[in-house]
Amino acid sequence: MDDIDLSTLSNRSAASDDQRVTQWLGDFEAALGAGDASAVAALFEADSHWRDLLAFTWDITPTIGVTRIASGLVASQPAVRARGFAIDPNRTAPRRVRRLGVDVLEAMFAFETEVGRGNGVVRLVPGDAGGLRAWVLLTTLEELKGHEEHVGKRRPTGDAYSRNFGGENWLDQRIKAREYADRDPAVLVVGGGQAGLAIAARLNQMDVDTLVVDKFERIGDNWRKRYHSLALHNQIVANHLPYMPFPPTMPKYIPKDMLANWFECYAEALEVNFWTGTEFVGGSYDEAAQRWSATLRKSDGTERVMHPRHVVFANGVSGIARIPDLPGLKDFAGEVVHSHSFTDGSAWKGRKALVLGTGNSGHDVAQDLYSHGADTTIIQRGSGTVVSIDPSAKLNYALYEEGPSLDDCDLLATAATYPLIVKGYQMAVERMMEFDKELIAGLKAKGFKYDIGEDNTGHQMKYRRRGGGYYLNAGCSDLIIEGEIGLLQFDTIERFTAGGARLTDGSMVPADLIVLATGYYTQRELVRRLLGEDVADKVGEIWGVSEDGEMANMWKRTPQDGLWFIAGSLAQCRIYSKYLALQIKAQEVGLLEGRHPA
Q: Is residue 169 part of a domain?
A: no
> Could you say which residues of the chain have pLDDT below 50?
1-11
In a domain, 300, yes or no: yes
| Same domain, yes or no: 284 and 386 | no
pTM, two decimal places: 0.94
95-151: per-residue pLDDT in tens? 999 999 999 999 999 999 999 999 999 999 998 777 899 999 999 999 999 999 999
Q: What is the pLDDT of residue 320?
A: 83
In a domain, 12, yes or no: yes
Give residue 318's pLDDT.
63
- Would you state the pLDDT for residue 10? 43
Bond from prior residue into 391 cis (ω within 30 degrees of 0): yes
182's CB contacts (< 8 A; 6+ apart) are none
38-69 confidence digits (pLDDT tens): 999 999 999 999 999 999 999 999 999 999 99
* Residues 558, 180 contacting (CB under 8 angstroms): no
Element (H, E) at 87: strand 83-87
The whole-angstrom separation of Cα 445 and Cα 477 is 12
Q: Are residues 48 and 194 in the same domain?
A: no
CA distance 503 to 499: 12
**415 lies in a domain?**
no
CA angle 579–580–582, rounded 5-degree value: 65
560: helix, strand or coil: coil
Contact 580, 556 (CB under 8 A): yes
User: Is the domain of 377 the same as that of 474?
Assistant: yes
Dist CA 84 CA 349 (whole Å): 67
The DSSP bridge pattern shows strands 187-190 and 60-64 to be unpaired
The range of the structural domain enclosing residue 501 comes to 323-392+436-518
Contact yes or no for 283/530 (Cβ under 8 A):
yes
Residues 313 and 338 both lie in one domain: no
Rg over CA atoms, the chain: 26
Task: Identify the domain boundary among 518, 552, 567.
Answer: 518
* Domain presence at residue 398: no
27 and 136 housed in the same domain: yes
Of the candidates 498, 518, 538, which is a domain's last residue?
Answer: 518
What per-residue confidence (pLDDT) applies to 131? 87
In a domain, 152, yes or no: no
H or E, element range at 144: strand 132-144
Count other C-beta atoms under 10 Å from residue 176's C-beta.
12
Q: Are residues 296 and 371 in the same domain?
A: no
When divided into structural domains, the chain yields a total of: 3
CA–CA dist 94, 278 (Å, integer): 49
Q: What is the pLDDT of residue 13?
A: 67
Asked if residue 166 belongs to a domain, the reply is no
- In one-letter notation, the amino acid at residue 160 is A
**How far apart (Å, rounded) are the C-alpha atoms in residues 286 and 113?**
33
Q: What pLDDT, on a 0 to 100 scale, did the predictor assign at position 9?
A: 39
Coil, helix or strand for 387? strand
CA distance 203 to 194: 14
Q: What is d(CA 546, CA 544) in angstroms, rounded to the nearest whole number?
A: 6
Q: In what order do the strands lie in the sheet with 513-516?
A: 335-338, 513-516, 352-356, 375-380, 486-489
Residues in the chain: 598
pLDDT of residue 319: 66
Residue 536 is assigned to a structural domain of this protein: yes
One domain for residues 370 and 503: yes
> Could you tell me if 283 and 253 lie in one domain?
yes
Give the list of residues 6+ apart from residue 297 with CB closer than 8 angstroms, or none: 278, 279, 281, 303
User: Where a domain ends, among 502, 518, 534?
Assistant: 518
Q: Are 40 and 76 in contact (CB under 8 A)?
A: no
Question: What are all long-range contacts of 6-12, with beta carbons under 8 Å and residues at least 24 apart?
Answer: 6/97, 6/98, 6/99, 6/398, 6/399, 6/402, 7/97, 7/98, 8/95, 8/96, 8/97, 8/98, 8/402, 9/96, 9/97, 9/98, 9/103, 10/96, 11/96, 12/96, 12/105
Q: What confidence score (pLDDT) does residue 8 get?
A: 39
Is the Cβ–Cβ distance between 439 and 388 less than 8 Å?
Answer: yes
Integer Cα distance of 387 and 440 in angstroms:
9
190 and 284 co-located in one domain: yes
Q: Provide the CATH number for the domain around residue 509.
A: 3.50.50.60
The string of DSSP codes covering 481-513 is HTTSSEEEEGGGEEEEETTEEEETTS-EEE-SE
Q: Could you tell me if 100 and 199 lie in one domain? A: no
Residues 114 and 228 in one domain: no
Residue 357 and residue 244 share a domain: no
